[in-house]
A and B are shown apart, each in its own frame.
Chain A
Amino acid sequence: MLFNSLDFAIFLPIVFALYWLLQKQLKLQNLLIAIASYIFYGMWDWRFLFLILFSTIVDYTMGILIERENQQAKRKLFLWVSILVNLGFLGYFKYSNFFIENFVGAFKFFGQDLDFRGLDIVLPVGISFYTFQTLSYTIDVYREKLKPTKDFIAFTAFVSFFPQLVAGPIERATHLLPQFYLRRKFDTHQAKDGLYLIIWGLFKKIVIADNCAQYANDIFNNYKDYSSGTLVLGAVYFAFQIYGDFSGYSDIAIGTSRLFGFDLMRNFAYPYFSRDIAEFWRRWHISLSTWFRDYLYIPLGGSRGGMWMKVRNTFIIFLVSGFWHGANWTFIVWGGLNAIYFLPLLLGGKNRNHIDLIAENTRWASAKEFFSVLVTFMLTVFAWIFFRANNLEHAFNYIENIFSFQFKIEKLMIERFAFEILPLIAVLLLMEWFSRAKEHPLKQTNYLYFKALGLIAMILIFGSFSEMQEFIYFQF
């Protein structure tokens, strides 16, 4: 079920009404969330519900066993069972064909032709997200940061919580699971804020991302026909497509959760206003970056052990993060490229230079800040080419054509939406700029209702409905 679909527009009010009717019965509320989440997911493919259910049972059981066991070796064994089951599913469904293809390719390179075709595997939607979420539970129980739950219904609701089941934010068990134990009281301010956040998310998805997608898809698919200027524009459109798409989804997820009295972690904090790549990664897909920090970077030694260890761990994090996005070398190169961008900051000890807010006490950024933001954005856009490309050859050819230095922006002149898409991006950036100190542009502001109505009008007038796109991050 898509957030921007009629199905969801019917589903959400029904679940919302039932949920608050059960306000005094916590267990029934959690059961309702679990059932609603399974319906939400089952509408894509009910067969994969068994996968989620199996993961849920395994992690629930392992959590209890880890706590009961005193011997460290056995506790570790139970943790590994959970890790292997979860990563095993992820590996099989997401990466098996990638490894097979590369294995066959390697043999071919040495003159051995293997007659081995890929497996016919359907990737379950959101598997990368819920796998990481449920892994955080067993790891935190093992680390004794969290008491294992004895409430299977609450745990099922936590693993399958429909607002963030398929595309995050990836919640820590320590943050989300305890919320299922507490009685939720309807909080008008929280619900109102959730509603406004949903509207803001829909604007980013339907107006920005889906319009940019039409351009970006056309330019990337037919890159041979276009000149340098158009190809640069295509990459910029993709940068806003992926931002509008993914942060829009996160906002709708967080907003929906607030309607049910839950608080999810922030996933995006205006990343395109970052002054260097380190700041960008503190503002982009925060739930994934911090997950890797907590469950991979720190266990690997983090920043301890000298510069070489720092560099090694940083590269591991970025490469794994790239690979998490998809079983394609393009994602690994994208991750590697970001690690290379990050390296000078790390070596110079400047990776925490910009932890404050840009132009904190002024209306506009200084020339220096503006220049840093522009350079960071350009570096990010360049890396997005790999992220968007179908394969490495596609990415390199696209880049080669950019550097043919023919500057003619055909797409800007002739095609549909040419006159409205760039102003729309400008509207997005201006709204975000003037709200950069707040969580989102519709938070605690004057004329809130009219601003929300203005966004709804923009969704109706400028929204791309006839070529509605699925959320990109569903494929990850």
Chain B
Amino acid sequence: MVKFFKLLLYILLGLVILAYGLEWLYTHSYKHPVNPRNKVSWLNKLEQKKYDYALFGSSRCLNTVNPKQIDKATGLSGINMAYNGSNSFEIKLMVKQFVDKFKPKEIFVQVDDRFDRERNDPTSSIFWIPFIDNEYIYSEFMKRDSLAWYYRNIPFYKYLLYESKIGLRDVSLSYIKNNSFENLNGFVPTNGSLEGFDHKIKQLPDRQNIHLSEIIDICEKENIKLYFFTAPYFEFDLNTEVIKKHLPNYKDFSTVIDEKQMFHDQGHLNAKGAKEFTKIFIEEYF
């Protein structure tokens, strides 16, 4: 039996060493990526630089505001840190990490029909999990994800659990495939024009969003000018007065573009629409 337990021990030891080794390799690939696969990993790769402004939000900001166009027109230096699917929780994490690293002069946060959503969205918060050793990120995850302790303390557990999103494929591709956002300072245009649609209506409840409140506090503390805005929609009625009531420096652009061919779908401008909207954005803010 002693021999058996010895073998078992060696196997467990091998397993632990493998898990630590793989944990290090995968986390290293996200922290020091050759080709970042997502914006969170990109944030770690970005070299120290002075940014005049930074944009945050979901795909409705990612596909909508082109920093290269702004920089060409104004001579400023900016970046679009928005990424698909992020809600206010993920936006807050991004703002906090970006501010800690770069301290930009101005920040723009896109808010929309998800203003009332405070929970984290697993499909977009997953990208933060490789960085769980960061105290701030860990404490935020601890508040809303019962597995946060395991992500941090059990080696390789997070990569097993979410292997389809941050597993082998993603890590391998980070060495061999370029991303679509790096060359355009974080902007990703979409193609195609909107075809069929239904007129949509959404009523937001009249209450503040705790994560956006925290963003306001972060910017006040760091003396950064903060603006909120809503990007264009097509045939979508949203009671943006609620957002205006709760957020400072808010501007509603939801109806500034009404040509169908400027949209990829009802919530996202296509490349042509983004060019048009970025012009409006420059006129308003710069």
Please report A residues at the B interface, Cβ cutoff 8 Å. 20, 186, 188, 191-192, 195, 199, 416-417, 420, 449, 452-453, 456-457, 460-467
Other than A188-B3, A466-B167, give 13 A-B pairs with Cβ distance below 8 A.
A186-B4, A195-B4, A416-B164, A449-B7, A449-B10, A453-B14, A456-B14, A456-B15, A456-B18, A463-B163, A464-B164, A465-B161, A466-B164
Q: A151 vs B1: C-alpha distance in the bound complex, in angstroms?
A: 29
Contact of B1 with A466 in the complex, beta carbons under 8 Å: no
**Is B156 an interface residue, CB under 8 A from the partner?**
yes
Contact of A453 with B18 in the complex, beta carbons under 8 Å: yes
| Contact partners of B1 in chain A: CB under 8 A | 20, 186, 188, 191
Q: A460 vs B17: C-alpha distance in the bound complex, in angstroms?
A: 12
Q: A423 vs B286: C-alpha distance in the bound complex, in angstroms?
A: 54
| Contact partners of A461 in chain B: CB under 8 A | 22, 168
| Contact partners of A467 in chain B: CB under 8 A | 164
Q: A466 vs B158: C-alpha distance in the bound complex, in angstroms?
A: 10
| Contact partners of A417 in chain B: CB under 8 A | 169
Q: Which residue of A lies closest to B17 (CB)?
A: A453
Q: A460 vs B25: C-alpha distance in the bound complex, in angstroms?
A: 13
**Is B216 an interface residue, CB under 8 A from the partner?**
no
Q: A417 vs B168: C-alpha distance in the bound complex, in angstroms?
A: 9
Please report B residues at the A interface, Cβ cutoff 8 Å. 1, 3-4, 7-8, 10-11, 14-15, 18-19, 22, 156, 160-165, 167-169
| Contact partners of B163 in chain A: CB under 8 A | 463-466
Q: A453 vs B10: C-alpha distance in the bound complex, in angstroms?
A: 10
List 20 interface pairs A-B (beta carbons < 8 Å), by A numbering: A186-B1, A186-B4, A188-B1, A188-B4, A191-B4, A199-B11, A417-B169, A420-B169, A449-B11, A449-B14, A453-B11, A456-B11, A457-B18, A457-B22, A460-B160, A463-B160, A464-B163, A464-B164, A466-B161, A466-B162
B8, B11, B156: the one within 8 Å of A460 (CB): B156
| Contact partners of B18 in chain A: CB under 8 A | 453, 456-457, 460
Total contacts A to B, CB within 8 angstroms? 57
Expressed in whole angstroms, the minimum distance between the Cβ of A198 and any Cβ of chain B is 10
| Contact partners of B8 in chain A: CB under 8 A | 195
B4, B162, B168, B169: the one within 8 Å of A192 (CB): B4
Expressed in whole angstroms, the minimum distance between the Cβ of A450 and any Cβ of chain B is 9
| Contact partners of B169 in chain A: CB under 8 A | 416-417, 420
Expressed in whole angstroms, the minimum distance between the Cβ of B177 and any Cβ of chain A is 12
Expressed in whole angstroms, the minimum distance between the Cβ of A447 and any Cβ of chain B is 13
| Contact partners of B165 in chain A: CB under 8 A | 466
Query: Ordered nearest first, which 5 A-B pairs have the shortest CB separation?
Result: A453-B14, A465-B160, A466-B164, A191-B4, A188-B3
Contact of A460 with B19 in the complex, beta carbons under 8 Å: yes
Q: A449 vs B8: C-alpha distance in the bound complex, in angstroms?
A: 10
Which residue, B10, B22, B167, has most C-beta atoms of chain A within 10 A?
B167
Expressed in whole angstroms, the minimum distance between the Cβ of A396 and any Cβ of chain B is 33
Q: A199 vs B1: C-alpha distance in the bound complex, in angstroms?
A: 19
Q: Which residue of B lies closest to A461 (CB)?
A: B168
Q: A417 vs B170: C-alpha distance in the bound complex, in angstroms?
A: 10
Q: A449 vs B22: C-alpha distance in the bound complex, in angstroms?
A: 19
| Contact partners of B22 in chain A: CB under 8 A | 457, 460-461
Expressed in whole angstroms, the minimum distance between the Cβ of B276 and any Cβ of chain A is 32
Q: A186 vs B4: C-alpha distance in the bound complex, in angstroms?
A: 10
| Contact partners of B3 in chain A: CB under 8 A | 188, 192
Known: A186-B1, A457-B18. A195 touches B160 (CB 8 A): no
Q: A453 vs B13: C-alpha distance in the bound complex, in angstroms?
A: 10
Expressed in whole angstroms, the minimum distance between the Cβ of B10 and any Cβ of chain A is 6
Expressed in whole angstroms, the minimum distance between the Cβ of B22 and any Cβ of chain A is 6
Q: A300 vs B32: C-alpha distance in the bound complex, in angstroms?
A: 70
| Contact partners of B11 in chain A: CB under 8 A | 195, 199, 449, 452-453, 456
Q: Which residue of A lies closest to B13 (CB)?
A: A453
Q: A292 vs B179: C-alpha distance in the bound complex, in angstroms?
A: 57
| Contact partners of A416 in chain B: CB under 8 A | 164, 169
Q: A465 vs B163: C-alpha distance in the bound complex, in angstroms?
A: 7
Q: Which residue of B lies closest to A199 (CB)?
A: B11
| Contact partners of A460 in chain B: CB under 8 A | 18-19, 22, 156, 160
Which residue, B10, B19, B162, B164, has most C-beta atoms of chain A within 10 A?
B164
Expressed in whole angstroms, the minimum distance between the Cβ of B167 and any Cβ of chain A is 8
Q: A464 vs B164: C-alpha distance in the bound complex, in angstroms?
A: 8
Q: Which residue of B lies closest to A194 (CB)?
A: B4
Q: A114 vs B277: C-alpha distance in the bound complex, in angstroms?
A: 63
Q: A195 vs B163: C-alpha distance in the bound complex, in angstroms?
A: 26
Expressed in whole angstroms, the minimum distance between the Cβ of B185 and any Cβ of chain A is 28
| Contact partners of A192 in chain B: CB under 8 A | 3-4, 7
Q: A358 vs B163: C-alpha distance in the bound complex, in angstroms?
A: 38
| Contact partners of A456 in chain B: CB under 8 A | 11, 14-15, 18
Expressed in whole angstroms, the minimum distance between the Cβ of B156 and any Cβ of chain A is 6
Q: Which residue of A lies closest to B169 (CB)?
A: A416
Q: Which residue of A lies closest to B26 (CB)?
A: A461
Expressed in whole angstroms, the minimum distance between the Cβ of B68 and any Cβ of chain A is 29
Expressed in whole angstroms, the minimum distance between the Cβ of B147 and any Cβ of chain A is 12
Q: Which residue of A lies closest to B168 (CB)?
A: A461
Q: A420 vs B168: C-alpha distance in the bound complex, in angstroms?
A: 10
Q: A449 vs B11: C-alpha distance in the bound complex, in angstroms?
A: 8
| Contact partners of B7 in chain A: CB under 8 A | 192, 195, 449
Which residue, A188, A460, A464, A465, has most C-beta atoms of chain B within 10 A?
A460
Contact of A462 with B168 in the complex, beta carbons under 8 Å: yes
| Contact partners of B167 in chain A: CB under 8 A | 466
Q: A361 vs B3: C-alpha distance in the bound complex, in angstroms?
A: 35
Q: Which residue of A lies closest to B11 (CB)?
A: A452
Q: A417 vs B162: C-alpha distance in the bound complex, in angstroms?
A: 14
| Contact partners of B168 in chain A: CB under 8 A | 420, 461-462
| Contact partners of B162 in chain A: CB under 8 A | 466
Expressed in whole angstroms, the minimum distance between the Cβ of B260 and any Cβ of chain A is 28
Q: A199 vs B165: C-alpha distance in the bound complex, in angstroms?
A: 25
Q: A199 vs B14: C-alpha distance in the bound complex, in angstroms?
A: 13
Q: A465 vs B160: C-alpha distance in the bound complex, in angstroms?
A: 6
Q: A453 vs B163: C-alpha distance in the bound complex, in angstroms?
A: 20
| Contact partners of A462 in chain B: CB under 8 A | 168
Expressed in whole angstroms, the minimum distance between the Cβ of A201 and any Cβ of chain B is 15
Q: A385 vs B1: C-alpha distance in the bound complex, in angstroms?
A: 47
| Contact partners of A199 in chain B: CB under 8 A | 11
| Contact partners of A452 in chain B: CB under 8 A | 11
Expressed in whole angstroms, the minimum distance between the Cβ of A202 and any Cβ of chain B is 12
Q: A195 vs B9: C-alpha distance in the bound complex, in angstroms?
A: 12
Expressed in whole angstroms, the minimum distance between the Cβ of B61 and any Cβ of chain A is 27
Expressed in whole angstroms, the minimum distance between the Cβ of B120 and any Cβ of chain A is 17
